[in-house]
């Protein structure tokens, strides 16, 4: 018989590698130590859900609603008319859908690897391997949920068992409302930003917030963007130069939208479709996610399958999303595609080499013999606008617009970019003209 002594946290545990693992003992240990089945750090779905407003105790559906303001004040004509409208509650239904988590694993696979690596080894009073195994199943389920949380679309066909067909994700709900005409520029809850680029993203996002009603701007809100747009925003911040910290100044990589006095939290949502340019701006409690019990997401219950070598466990939970209100005083989205189709991806692949505006060029190549020098800037992209700086700062679409030759009278470094709607801004071109 071969025994291996494993030392974890000053506890020595003897592991017999020749005897098979007792599955009934594994199941009993999981049941006995269920209080240890807390794996919040592993619940990757909660990286998204933590930004929404939770509604526990929902077993099927619940009606949400926010009162829309009515009209109660009018001109006095010498008598009271009694004609008033105190507003109405616009009901919206949050429906939850069930999904299951099932695992079937053979603990023997971990005999010489993970068992010895788990803190406490097999000591049931520290961190038993059995608990680790169960938590691993929960972690896997939550990782799968994370990947479809925003884009899942419910399909009643019971032949379809994919998790992505189990419920309606947040973006699916937004897309359906937009298709139904409930988001539009006429309603004021769809704000046109055009294509967001490194050169304009900071300005465009702030403009979007400033177009919201004053009642909205007085409150704390969240602006949901993809991780890619978050990186682009950070790059834009870098291009603006480093701000001096102190006295409440905002700095690069803060979680708030610059220029909003920390009223707008920038939330970089993982799980957004690749390449998404969608921006969702709403009050903090407007997005609800419904569920029954938090523990449903944290525990898989073990059961005996009859196979002495397999550990089996299962769990069931419900989930659903809804917006309390679509009113322009509560929410706005930009004009980007909410859920790109496969055709959109194909078009993106075909146009990938044509997306970026051509980098500007300068003429002439060097300072001539005169006391002054005229410099022209051009780009090969038709219809593109050029912006430049002469103070060493990185140009953006807010910099000086180029319209005619620049006359220099001293040694100067010119930086320029070219931008065009629907295309990525060009690389920054730099040229130093040294006076002879």
Asked if 289 and 53 count as a contact pair (C-beta separation under 8 A), the reply is: yes
- The β-bridge relationship of strands 373-378 and 400-401 is unpaired
Sign of CA dihedral 16, 18, 22, 23: positive
Task: Enter the DSSP assignment of 119.
Answer: T
Q: What local confidence, expressed as pLDDT, does residue 122 receive?
A: 52
Q: What local confidence, expressed as pLDDT, does residue 22 receive?
A: 62
Give me the residue spans of the domains in the chain.
189-287+331-337, 356-433
3-state secondary structure 187-238: CCCEECCCCCCCCCHHHHHHHHHHCCCHHHHCCCEEEEEEHHHHHHHHHHHH
Question: To 10 degrees, what angle do helices 227-239 and 201-210 make?
Answer: 110
Q: What local confidence, expressed as pLDDT, does residue 10 receive?
A: 43
38 Cβ contact list (under 8 Å, min separation 6): 298
- Residue in the block written with tokens 């682009």: 232
Compute φ and ψ for 34, nearest 5 degrees. Answer: -60, -20
Q: What local confidence, expressed as pLDDT, does residue 139 receive?
A: 83
Quick: pLDDT tens for 281-330: 999 799 999 999 988 888 788 888 888 778 888 989 999 999 999 999 99
379 Cβ contact list (under 8 Å, min separation 6): 357, 358, 359, 360, 361, 386, 418, 426
Q: Which CATH architecture has domain 356-433?
A: Sandwich (2.60)
* Residue 275 zone, left/alpha/beta (φ > 0; ψ -120 to 50; rest): left
Q: Which two tokens stand for residue 75?
A: 């001109």
Length, in residues, of the chain: 436
Asked if 309 and 252 count as a contact pair (C-beta separation under 8 A), the reply is: no
Spans of the chain, pLDDT less than 50: 1-15, 17, 37-43, 70, 117-121, 124, 127, 242-252, 350-353
CA distance 370 to 393: 27
E strands, 48-96, are 53-55, 61-68, 88-95
Of 264, 269, 270, 200, nearest to 232 (Cα)? 200
């Amino acid at each position: 018989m071969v025994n291996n002594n494993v030392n974890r946290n000053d506890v020595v545990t003897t592991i017999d590698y020749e005897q098979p693992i007792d599955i009934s003992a594994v199941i009993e240990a999981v049941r006995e130590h269920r209080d240890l089945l807390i794996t919040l750090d592993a619940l990757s779905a909660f990286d998204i859900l933590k930004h929404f407003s939770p509604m526990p105790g929902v077993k099927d559906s619940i009606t949400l609603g926010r009162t829309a303001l009515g009209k109660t004040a009018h001109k006095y004509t010498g008598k009271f008319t009694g004609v008033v409208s105190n507003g109405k509650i616009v009901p919206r239904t949050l429906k939850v859908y069930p999904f299951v988590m099932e695992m079937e694993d053979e603990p023997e696979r971990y005999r010489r690897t993970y068992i010895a690596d788990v803190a406490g080894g097999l000591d049931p009073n520290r961190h038993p391997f059995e608990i680790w195994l169960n938590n691993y199943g929960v972690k896997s389920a939550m990782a799968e949920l994370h990947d479809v949380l925003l884009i899942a679309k419910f399909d009643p066909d019971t032949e379809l068992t994919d998790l992505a067909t189990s419920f309606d994700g947040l973006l699916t709900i937004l897309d359906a409302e937009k298709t139904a005409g409930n988001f539009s520029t006429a309603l004021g809850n769809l704000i046109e930003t055009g294509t967001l680029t490194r050169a304009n993203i900071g300005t465009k996002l702030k403009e979007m917030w400033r177009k919201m009603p004053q009642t909205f701007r007085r409150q704390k809100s969240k602006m949901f963007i993809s991780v890619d747009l978050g990186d682009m925003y950070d790059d834009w911040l870098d291009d603006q130069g480093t701000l001096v910290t102190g006295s409440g100044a905002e700095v690069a990589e803060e979680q708030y939208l610059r220029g909003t006095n920390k009223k707008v939290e920038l939330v970089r949502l993982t799980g957004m479709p690749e390449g998404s340019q969608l921006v969702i701006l709403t009050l903090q409690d407007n997005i609800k996610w419904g569920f029954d019990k938090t523990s449903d997401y944290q525990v898989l219950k073990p059961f005996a399958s009859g196979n002495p070598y397999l550990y089996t466990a299962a769990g069931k939970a419900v989930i659903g999303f809804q917006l309390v209100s679509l009113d322009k005083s509560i929410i706005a989205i930009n004009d980007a595609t909410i859920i790109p189709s496969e055709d959109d991806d194909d078009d993106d692949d075909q146009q990938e080499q044509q997306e970026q505006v051509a980098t500007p060029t300068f003429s002439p190549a060097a300072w001539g013999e005169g006391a002054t020098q005229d410099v022209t800037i051009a780009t090969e992209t038709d219809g593109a606008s050029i912006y430049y700086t002469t103070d060493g700062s990185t140009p953006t679409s807010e910099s000086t617009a180029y319209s005619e030759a620049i006359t220099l009278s001293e040694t100067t470094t010119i930086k320029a970019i070219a931008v065009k709607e629907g295309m990525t801004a060009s690389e920054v071109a730099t040229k130093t003209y040294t006076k002879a």
